[in-house]
């Protein structure tokens, strides 16, 4: 029994790491900021993995995140710790996300460059179907007992870590660029680089999130390898900063 529980937790953790990787490379650096462009087959692979692991409707995620960049810490920021406190963002991030994601007009406004495809309408926009496929795959591969532990653990962990990028990585950590976002290396290790959030707000179109010495962006190694293989192209080699650099500060 203990072995089943531990294996279920480990499997759930691995599913979250895969979902985090697809979120940062495809949804965030690719679709949202166009910092990289994948070959169609690779984009379809990321899209499918995200669909079965998170049920994410990608245009909704892109819209919420673009709005966050457009209004960081202003009234219209969907999730600003400076305005409502980091703990509230951490604990209620899914609800804050849904406020914008469920607003079709806002989603359309922020995703004019990403019109829904036929495949989106038929398949990928059906979140519960994607999640159901994911659960069935887990049950077939590992049995229902393991799946019953792995899947809920993955859902809680994925939502929690997504919330941490918006809460912890806008409150605690190091700042190199003049934005409220912070660099949190331990968080970056379990979010495929997303914890280096100050660097990201400083240079949103950079496909690499580690900029300073002693920072490690786990996803960057694979992005560079995929670029060498010709599976994707990186927009520019040197980050283009949209905010000034400041003396590094710890907060
Ligand atoms: Zn942010
Ligand atoms: Zn971003």
**65 Cα–ligand 2 center, Å:** 6
CA distances from 38 to 76, 159, 226, 235 (A): 31, 25, 9, 11
Tell me how far the alpha carbon of residue 93 lies from the centroid of ligand 1, in angstroms: 13
Question: For the residues 129-154, what does the mean pLDDT come to?
Answer: 97
pTM, entire model = 0.94
The C-alpha atoms of residue 194 and residue 215 are separated, in whole angstroms, by 12
pLDDT confidence tier of residue 240, bands split at 50, 70 and 90: confident
Residue 164 pLDDT exceeds 80: yes
Please state, rounded to an integer, the average pLDDT across all residues of the chain. 95
Give the per-residue pLDDT at 236.
82
Asked if pLDDT for residue 149 goes beyond 80, the answer is yes
What is the rounded average pLDDT of the residues 132-143?
97
CA of 200 to the centre of ligand 2 (A): 6
What confidence tens digit (pLDDT) does each residue in 39-79 have? 999 999 999 999 999 999 999 999 999 999 999 999 999 99
Spell out the residues 6+ positions from residue 53 whose beta carbon is closer than 8 angstroms to its own.
Answer: 15, 18, 19, 22, 134, 154, 158
């Amino acid at each position: 029994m203990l072995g089943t529980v531990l294996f279920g937790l480990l499997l759930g953790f691995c599913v979250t790491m895969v979902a985090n990787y697809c979120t940062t490379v495809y949804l965030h650096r690719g679709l949202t900021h166009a910092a990289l462009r994948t070959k169609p087959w690779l984009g379809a692979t990321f899209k499918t993995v995200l669909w079965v692991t998170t049920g994410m409707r990608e245009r909704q995620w892109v819209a919420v995140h673009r709005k966050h960049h457009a209004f960081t810490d202003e009234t219209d920021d969907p999730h600003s710790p400076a305005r409502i406190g980091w703990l509230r963002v951490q604990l209620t991030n899914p609800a804050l996300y849904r406020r914008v994601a469920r607003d079709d007009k806002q989603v359309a406004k922020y995703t004019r460059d990403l019109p829904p495809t036929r495949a989106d309408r038929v398949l990928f926009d059906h979140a519960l179907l994607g999640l159901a496929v994911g659960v069935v795959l887990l049950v077939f591969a590992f049995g229902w007992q393991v799946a019953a532990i792995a899947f809920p653990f993955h859902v809680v962990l994925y939502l929690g870590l997504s919330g941490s990028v918006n809460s912890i990585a806008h409150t605690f950590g190091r700042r190199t660029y003049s934005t409220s976002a912070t660099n949190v290396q331990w968080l970056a290790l379990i979010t495929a680089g997303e914890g280096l959030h100050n660097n990201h707000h400083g240079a949103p179109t950079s496909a690499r999130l580690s900029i300073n010495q002693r920072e490690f962006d786990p996803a960057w190694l694979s992005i560079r390898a995929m670029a060498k293989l010709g599976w994707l192209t990186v927009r520019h080699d040197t980050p283009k900063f949209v905010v000034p650099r400041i003396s590094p500060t710890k907060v």
